[in-house]
């Protein structure tokens, strides 16, 4: 019987990879999943159902991008827009 299973090994590998141990916890993976789901075309309505949220406002907290992420999105948009000129 494995006490920790594959998830522990994955988590342990992430900690050894340079992430701060204090930042690695199940809730941070929940936020990461939410952002990845939205970034890969999922809707906030679907995400709310998956996460079990009754309110889209709660889901919005999970899916909100940081200022750096917003800046990166804007930079990508401007590069794509002007590369055809």
Q: How many CA atoms lie within 13 A of 32 on its CB side?
A: 7
pTM of the model: 0.59
Q: What is the rounded CA–CA span in Å between residue 13 and residue 81?
A: 39
pLDDT tens profile 43-83: 999 999 999 999 999 999 888 888 998 899 889 888 877 66
Domain ranges of the chain: 21-82
DSSP state of 78: H
- What tokens appear for 46 in the block? 């679907």
- What tokens appear for 19 in the block? 């992430």
Q: Are 38 and 45 in contact (CB under 8 A)?
A: no
């Amino acid at each position: 019987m494995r006490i920790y299973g594959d998830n522990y090994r994955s988590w342990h590998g992430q900690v050894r990879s340079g992430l701060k141990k204090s930042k690695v916890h199940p809730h941070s993976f929940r936020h990461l999943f939410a952002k990845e789901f939205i970034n890969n075309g999922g809707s906030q309505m679907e995400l709310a159902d998956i996460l079990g949220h009754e309110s889209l406002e709660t889901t919005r907290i999970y899916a909100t991008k940081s200022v750096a992420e917003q800046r990166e999105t804007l930079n990508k948009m401007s590069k794509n827009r002007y590369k055809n000129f």
